[in-house]
Amino acid sequence: MGGVVPEQLWQGRARNCMDPFLQAAMDEAKAGLASGGIPIGSVLVLDGKIIGRGHNQRVQKGSVIHHGEMNCLENAGRQKAAVYRRCTIYTTLSPCPMCSGAILLYAIPRVVVGENVTFTGAEDHLRANGVKVEVVQDPECVQMMRDFIASNPQLWNEDIGV
């Protein structure tokens, strides 16, 4: 991407295709699904470059914490606080309270959400704490989660703590 902010890619043009960073998160979600997991992906972007990427790996790792955003942050490695404060995190699904807590802890100022039709996480809590939350309602994100939830209701309920 070479430092191009996604909004700049679309200036003056109709948005016919997915934001490239949301597409990278979607690619992560598909990788998670292909490896037997829950299709939620995330990327962490700093100055127009992806510095971390991940997907939900609760099933694959037998983990209680490896949601997409948490896995992404883990894979970004240890960063200085000033780095997180300049990042945007992209996620295919609205972040749950645990992932939202990590976003707040590291003061990530902006979250781009692929969809919140199938699950609305702690978006209001993020907003109340000054985080800019943008929900895209991408049809591909919505359909992927609808299909997964219909096929795997027990696993989905486990993932969201129901």
Would you name the residues annotated as active-site residues? 69
Q: Give the relative orientation of helices 20-34 and 139-151 as an angle to the nearest 10 degrees.
A: 20
CB 111 within 8 A of CB 134: yes
d(CA 62, CA 56): 11
What is the token pair recorded at 73? 């942050």
For residues 123 and 1, give the distance between their C-alpha atoms in angstroms, rounded to a whole number.
28
Between CA 162 and CA 148 the distance in angstroms is 16
Q: Which of 86, 139, 84, 146 is nearest to 114 (CA)?
A: 139
Tokens of 134: 């943008």
